[in-house]
């Protein structure tokens, strides 16, 4: 899952928003030098990724992608699922939790974080704080921009974004229904994982 889902799941499980975000940037198992709330967030992030990648619904969706972009199906679904989460926010969030409220809380926590992790983290952190672009995922055009940015991140030339958006447009109903069946499973498994962390 991508940034918005990780942040949403952190709020749902009462774990660290920033810790769940850090799961993309801190590698390995040596987390003891970090505060416990960040450790829990990173571990939840990793659990979410493993659960998502192995879920039958997600595996089925990946198999359905055309061969030309199937190797990028996980990336494409991560990005598009963030869009779908925003589109169906009220279905998975308490009435008092607005998108803007959650994003503002996350940006504040990220601004207060005093960790020098990596140049990539510093770039992403600066971009998020300067432009606060999470809410842009309300529009499908943000998914295309995100996928173009991922293409440009690799040293070898990748081209999947345009074809991915075309595939999404042609299979919108199936993808949406699959997400709506999958996300409640992810919420439940995240709650269970956190309950075991806290024992």
CB-based contact 59:123 (threshold 8 Å)? no
CB 44 within 8 A of CB 193: yes
Q: Could you give the maximum distance between any two Cα atoms of the chain, in Å?
A: 47
The domain segmentation of the chain, as residue ranges, is 3-197
Residues 49 and 26: their CA atoms lie apart, in Å, by 14
pLDDT tens-digit series, residues 42-92: 999 999 999 999 999 999 999 999 999 999 999 999 999 999 999 999 999
Give the C-alpha distances (Å, rounded to integers) separating 111 from 26, 125, 137, 155. 18, 8, 21, 30
pTM of the model: 0.94
Q: What element of type H or E holds 199? A: none
Q: pLDDT (tens digit, 9 = 90+) per residue, 182-191?
A: 999 999 999 9
For 118-148, how does the pLDDT look when each residue is reduced to its tens digit (9 = 90+)?
Answer: 888 999 999 999 999 999 999 999 999 999 9
């Amino acid at each position: 899952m991508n940034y918005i889902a990780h942040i949403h799941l952190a709020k749902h499980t009462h774990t660290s928003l920033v810790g769940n975000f850090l799961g993309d940037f801190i590698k390995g198992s040596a987390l003891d030098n970090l505060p416990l709330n960040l450790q829990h967030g990173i571990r939840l992030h990793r659990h979410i990724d493993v659960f998502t990648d192995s879920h039958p619904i997600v595996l089925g969706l990946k198999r359905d992608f055309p061969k030309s972009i199937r190797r990028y199906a996980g990336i494409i679904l991560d990005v598009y699922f963030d869009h779908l989460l925003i589109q169906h926010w009220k279905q998975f969030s308490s009435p008092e939790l607005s998108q803007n409220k959650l994003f503002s809380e996350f940006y504040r926590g990220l601004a207060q974080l005093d960790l020098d992790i990596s140049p990539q983290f510093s770039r992403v952190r600066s971009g998020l704080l300067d432009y606060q672009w999470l809410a842009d995922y309300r529009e499908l055009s943000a998914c295309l921009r995100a996928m173009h940015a991922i293409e440009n991140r690799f040293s070898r030339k990748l081209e999947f974004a345009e074809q991915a958006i075309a595939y999404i447009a042609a299979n919108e109903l199936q993808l949406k229904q699959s997400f709506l069946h999958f996300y409640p499973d992810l919420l439940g498994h995240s709650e269970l994982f956190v309950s075991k962390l806290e024992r």
